[in-house]
Structures are given as C-alpha cells and as structure tokens.
Structure 1
Amino acid sequence: MAQDVSFPEQCHGYCFSVLQPFIDHFLKLKEATDDNDKMKVEKIHSLELTINNLQSQLLKSETEIKNNVEQIKVKDEQIKQKDDQIKLKDDQDEEIKNLREDVKMISCLNSPNSVFEMKVKGMEQFESPFDSSRWTVIQRRINGSVDFNRNWTDYKNGFGDERGSFFLGLETIHLMTLAHPHELYIQLRDVNGTTSYARYDDFKVGSENEDYKLKSLGEYSGTAGDSFSYNLDMKFTTLDRDNDMSEKGNCAIAHAGGWWFKNCSRSSLNGKYYDDGKITACQYYGIFWGTWKNYDYTISLTFSQMMIRPKPLKKKVSF
C-alpha cells in the first residue's frame, strides 16, 4: 500500500530547484548593493576630505590676498611719499637753477685782490674781493681798523672795507652757497709771519630763518688742523642774538665778535684784533684757530682770510 505524501513535501525539491536561481540572483544583487554602498561611503569621505582641503586653501588664499592688499597699500603710500620727495626736489632744483642764473659776475680784474661786482637774486648789486683763481673773499682781518663786535643786522648785511678788513654778510654768503655748491679756503698768519691754512670741500650756510646755521663743511684738508667741524650745525651768534649752547652766557660777547659758536668754540676769526698777537688776563678772546696753536688761547692771529669758490659740477656718465 503506497504511503501518502503531503503537497509541501512533494513541492520541496521541485520548488527549491525553481527558486534557487532567483535566490542566487537576489544574493548577487545584495552583494553588489553592499559594494556600491561601500564605494559611495568611501567616495563621500574622499569628497569631504577634498572639500576640507579646498576650504583650507581658500582660507589661506584669502589671508594671502588680505596681506597682499595691505602690502599694496603700504607700497602705494611709499610711492606717494617718494613722489612728494621728487616733486620737492624738483622744486628745489628749479629754485637753485634760477638762483644760479641770477648770480652774475659783471666785472672782474685778473690781478690779485681785485674787486668785482656781483648781483645775487633778492639783493642789491655789491662788491667783493676776488682773485684770479675765482676765490671770493668773504672775511678778512689784517688790522684792528674795523670793529667786528657787531650786532645781528651788521653781520647779516656785511661791514668793513672790501680792500681791507671786512665781512661780506651772512645773507650774501647764504645765497651764494645755496645757488651753487662751494668750497671754503681759510688762510691764517701769526705775528711771526708763520702761515697755515684749512680747506673744506662743501661749505654751506643756511637762511636767516635758520639763523644762518653752518649746514655743511664737507671734508677737511690743510696744515692748520680742523678747528671748524666742532661748529657744524650751529647757528650764528652775535652780541644781540644768542644762539650758542653755552650756559655761562653769550659767547659772542666774551669773544668780541660773531661766530657759529657752540660751547663756545675751537676757532673764532671775528674776535678782537691784537696788534702784538698776545692776550693777557681779563682781555677779550682774540683771533684763534685752536688746532694750529695747540689750543693756546693767549695767542691771537694777526691775519685771517676766508674765501669761497664754486665747485665744478660733476658730469653725468651715461652707460
């Protein structure tokens, strides 16, 4: 007698064989989906890293741009300042050029110690000693006939006899040295007839608004020693205009003449004139150049002469 088999039992083998391909297909789809999801996660992570990196680069770029903008502002300000300096220099060069055009020698004899007439812009025509080497005498002491213990106005305008002892005038000296670079030559002689000299290659005196400051001397050369550089950048002092640095009083009064005193000075060519070349106690300082006489201020020179002449203009070399 045959045994009864239920339908599920009868279907089990057959149904499995029919469904197996579908199950395998779904398993493969699931694996593929899982792999795809994994790839998506990895790709998203990679994109996040890329975005973070780009954001960092963008922030860095923004900082660099900001710094560059600040640097550009600084450069612009520097360029503006340079432009202003160039404009100021151009204006000064034009003013100096005009002054040079207005400084004219009208007549000059070839013999030593001759006198020539000069016209400087802003001043009346004046006379000044002149020699064949184009040196213009701006100060001379040969005797005591002219008193050099003068006020500000006298030193500004000049005084004395151009053929003897005299002072050309600070305003004239200022305009001459402003119009063109000048060198300074100082001649000295003592009572025994011994001579010496000092020379400076860039002499310049400021304006009255600057109290005729000794603005430049340049390099020294000579046999008398450098007793003038001590006075560099000092304003001129007279008996009625105290511009020195001395705490003991007005140096011009003690030295009986105007000069570019500091505290007070190692030189003074406008002091009291002593015929015998000697100073005794309680007398005014005389005419002295400290380095030449070992700072013996009892010695007073019996001759001094300050001369200036224009320096040759340097030619520009083109390459």
Structure 2
Amino acid sequence: MSPRILGIFLITSVLDQLYLVDGTNGLQESPSSDLNLESTIRELNLKLDYCKIQLQIKDEHNKEKIEQMETIYKLKSQLAVNEISCAKEKEMAAAINNLNMRLVNAEQQLKFKDDLIQEKVKEIQDCDLIKTKDKQILEQSEKVNFMTVTISNLQSQLAKSRDDVKVKIKDINDRTEEVKIRDDIIKSKEKEISDKSEQLKNIEGKITVKDNELENLSAQISTKDNEIDSLNNQTKHDLEKITEMTDELHTCREWESCPTGRPDGVYKINKPGIAVFEAPCNSNGWMTIQRRQDGSVDFNLNWVNYKNGFGNLTGELFIGLEKLHQMTKDKPHELYIKLMKFNGESAYAHYDNFQIGSELEFYKLKSLGTCSGTTGDSLRYSEGLKFSTIDSDNDGISSNCALSHSGAWWYNNCSYSRLNGKYLRGSTGTIIWHGFGGNNNLAFTQMMIRPKSAL
C-alpha cells in the first residue's frame, strides 16, 4: 500500500470518529470532538510515522530480495556457462588427443618418406656422377682428336715452311749477288758524281760572276726606272695642269647652252637677248634650272626675283624666268624633272617640248610636249597657265595660290604640282607632285633643260 492511500485511509477513520451520521437527521457534530481532536491527531501522526518506517523497511527488504534474485540469476548463468565450457573442454580434449595421434602417424610416415627420398637422392647422385664422368671422358677424347688433327696440320705447315725457307734462302743469295753488283755500280756513280761536283763548282764560280754582273745591271735598271717614274709623274702633273687649264678655258668660254661631253660644273652661258650668266651643267648637256634639297634658300619671293633668278649655283636655286624664255623661244628644249621622297624613293618625268612665254605673257607655260617617266604627268594641269608670285596673282581663282602655298608656280585653281613652296619635312601641301606621293612634301626636286639637238 502506498503512503498516499494509507493517509487517505487514516483521514477517513478520523472522520468516522468525529462525525455521527443519523439515519433521519443527517450529519451532526459530536459534542466531545473539541477535547479529543488534538490527541487523536497526534496518535494519527505517530501511526503515520510508524507506517512510513515500516514502508521503508519493506522497501529495503524488497531491494535486498531483488539483489539476491539478480545474484542467483547470475550464478545460474555462470553455472550454465561453466557446464557448457566443461562439455566443450571435453570435446576439445578428445579432438586434441585425436590430432596428436594423427600427428604421430604423420611424423612416422614423413620419416619413412624422408628415408625413401634419401635413398632415391643417393641413387640419382650416383647416376649423375657416372654421366658427368662419361661426359668428361667424351670431351677429353674430342680434345685429343682435335689436338691430333692440329699436330698433323702443324707438321704439314712446318714441312711447307721448310720448303719456303729454302726458297727464301735461295732468293737471299740471289739478292746478295745483285747487291754486290749494285754496290759496284754505286761506286762508279759516286766517282762520276765527284767529277760532276768539280764541274759544278767551276760553273758556280762562273754563275757568281754573272750574278755580280746582273746586280750591276739591276742597279742601272732601277736607276732608269726611277728616272722613268719621275718623268711619268712630271708628265702626269703636266697633263693635270693641261686638263685644269682646259677646264678653265671651257668654263671661261661662253656657251649658248650647256656643252656635252664636258665635266660637270658651272659654265658661262651667252644667249642672245640676255646678259651672260652662269649655270650648273652636267656632262650630258643638261642645265639645272631649279633645285630643292635642304630648305637653305627662301623660295617665297616676288616677281622680280623669279624673273631674274636667285639661289646658290651648287645648292638650291631658280635660274630665272627670263632666261628660260630666251633659251626656249627659238629652239625646242627637253625638260627633265627628278624627284625624291624623304624615305629615299626616287622617280622622274621627261617632257620633250618645253617652252616658256615672254614677260608680256606672264611667262606662260606654253608647251610641254609628250610626257614619259615614273612620276606621272602632274605638270600637265599647268600647261598654258601664267606664272604667279606672291605679288603677281595670275591664277584662275580669286585668292592667290602663291600666297597660300608659300611659293610661285604656274597656277590655275592652284595645281597638281608645285616645286617652289616652303621646304617642310614631314608636312604636306607645299612641295608636291600629285602623281608621286600625292599631297606629301618631297625631299628633293631638280628641273633640267637642254636643246633637243643635244641628243
């Protein structure tokens, strides 16, 4: 019984004692309850404490019984295991005994087999030894046979060698006789050599005399060679002087146009209608009338400058429009234009009938003729046009192309070529030839003329 149930039972008993139940009037309070209530509660508390102690004792007793039951269960389990172990041990002991007996039998059989194997091995060894001996005897026999054959061959070779030795001895004897004969011949030749040596000594003496004579002659020839060299140098110097004088005469001489077959240089040109002037000429009769190469000369000049010419005869120059008119008015001339880009690429244009008008015609580009070459015909656009400068605007538009392009030329609506503009490296639009480089400036230009009869 649990403590809660026991408490309920005790409280019920107390209530039975405190109250009386009447069959007809119901529940009524007892008159003596006030006196005995405290003593009754104390008794009930004592009984309750007693019951609790009893319950604790019973709980401990139950725990001991449970522990005893568990111990008994464990002992029974161990006993069962021990019984099983004993049974297994008996079975294992019986199996071990059986295995021991089988092992003894196996050892006996193994020993028996080992004895048999030893006997077989001994027999086999005896047989192998016999075979080895037989094989050795056979090998020795083969060696003996081989040695017998070798000895026989050696004997045959020995006999042949003896015959060869006899032949060699005979050859040696014959050669000895020949050597004796040759020795006699050598002695005779040595005598002849000795005689020849005496003759050679005499000849060497004569040669020495002749060598001395030759040395004297060589000295004389060397002296003559020096004299000839001196004369040649003098002659060469005289020829150079003559050439210089001839060139000076040619230079000082007044020519109507550049001479052909003469050295390159500056020549005096005497053309009727104009004063004598100097012009650069080459050996083929070409006269340079315009050259641009480094920008050292300013070409942005007025009409008078372009009429008369300007620049350096060995550098940049413009020969002059009046000179061009006077040279081309009566005799057909060729025009040769050489161009080069800043990358070194070059080209040329050739016109076979170049003619310039008079100042009254504003130095019109009257004719060009047929064009050939590698630059393209970019000057053709200027044919028939008047010459324009910064102070004389003769082009075909309202503005002055000479001003806008910093150089005079034969302009219309400006031009496809202009070689007198400002010299600018890496720029565009001032010194151009449209057929050779487009609008990119050129590094070098040279205009040359010569009479067509100079061909």
- TM-score category of the 2 structures, normalised to the smaller one: 0.5 to 0.7
Stretches of structure 1 lacking an aligned partner (at least 5 in a row): 1-101, 280-284, 315-319
Name the counterpart of 1:308: 449
1:180 Cα deviation from its structure 2 partner? 1.2
Pair 303,234 (structure 1): closer, same or farther in 2 beyond 3 Å: same
1:104 corresponds, among 245, 256, 279, to 256
RMSD of Structure 2 on Structure 1 (CA): 2.0
Cα distance in 1 for residues equivalent to 2:409 and 2:257: 28
Name the counterpart of 1:170: 321
Name the counterpart of 1:216: 367
Give matches, 1:8-23, under 5 Å: none
1:312 Cα deviation from its structure 2 partner? 2.2
Name the counterpart of 1:203: 354
Task: Show CA shifts across 1:123-163 (max 9, x none).
Answer: 22111110011001100001111000010000000000011
1:120 Cα deviation from its structure 2 partner? 1.6
2:416 corresponds, among 261, 266, 269, to 266
Q: Which amino acid aligns with 1:289?
A: W
Cα distance in 2 for residues equivalent to 1:254 and 1:119: 36
Cα distance in 2 for residues equivalent to 1:142 and 1:117: 24
1:252 corresponds, among 402, 413, 424, to 402
Q: Which amino acid aligns with 1:291?
A: G
State whether residues 257 and 272 of structure 1, in contact with CA within 8 Å, keep that contact through their aligned partners in structure 2: yes
2:268 corresponds, among 114, 117, 123, to 117
What count of residue pairs does the alignment treat as equivalent? Answer: 202
1:181 Cα deviation from its structure 2 partner? 0.6
- Answering whether residue 427 of structure 2 is matched by residue 278 of structure 1, we say yes
Q: Secondary structure at the match of 1:312?
A: helix
Name the counterpart of 1:24: none
Q: Which amino acid aligns with 2:403?
A: I
Q: Which amino acid aligns with 2:310?
A: F
Pair 252,139 (structure 1): closer, same or farther in 2 beyond 3 Å: same
Q: Which amino acid aligns with 1:243?
A: N
Pair 291,177 (structure 1): closer, same or farther in 2 beyond 3 Å: same
State whether residues 103 and 121 of structure 1, in contact with CA within 8 Å, keep that contact through their aligned partners in structure 2: no
Name the counterpart of 2:435: 291
Give matches, 1:22-171, under 5 Å: 104-105=256-257, 110-112=262-264, 114-171=265-322
The structure with the largest helix share of the pair is 2
State whether residues 200 and 217 of structure 1, in contact with CA within 8 Å, keep that contact through their aligned partners in structure 2: yes
1:222 Cα deviation from its structure 2 partner? 0.5
1:109 Cα deviation from its structure 2 partner? 8.3
Q: Which amino acid aligns with 2:443?
A: T
Q: Secondary structure at the match of 1:120?
A: coil
TM score, norm. by length of structure 1 = 0.60
Task: Show CA shifts across 1:249-291 (max 9, x none).
Answer: 10000111110011110000001101x3323xxxxx3210001
Name the counterpart of 2:379: 228
Cα distance in 1 for residues equivalent to 2:367 and 2:257: 25
Larger radius of gyration: 2
1:191 corresponds, among 342, 346, 354, to 342
Pair 214,107 (structure 1): closer, same or farther in 2 beyond 3 Å: closer
Cα distance in 1 for residues equivalent to 2:338 and 2:258: 26
Q: Which amino acid aligns with 1:142?
A: Q
Name the counterpart of 1:5: none
State whether residues 386 and 410 of structure 2, in contact with CA within 8 Å, keep that contact through their aligned partners in structure 1: yes
Cα distance in 2 for residues equivalent to 1:107 and 1:180: 16
Cα distance in 1 for residues equivalent to 2:418 and 2:290: 12
Cα distance in 2 for residues equivalent to 1:136 and 1:106: 6
Q: Secondary structure at the match of 2:343?
A: coil
Cα distance in 2 for residues equivalent to 1:164 and 1:132: 18
Q: Which amino acid aligns with 1:309?
A: R
Pair 108,185 (structure 1): closer, same or farther in 2 beyond 3 Å: closer
State whether residues 108 and 116 of structure 1, in contact with CA within 8 Å, keep that contact through their aligned partners in structure 2: no
Stretches of structure 2 lacking an aligned partner (at least 5 in a row): 1-253
Q: Secondary structure at the match of 1:186?
A: strand
Cα distance in 2 for residues equivalent to 1:287 and 1:115: 26
Cα distance in 2 for residues equivalent to 1:312 and 1:166: 26
Runs of 4+ in 1 over 2 A off after TM superposition: 102-112, 276-279
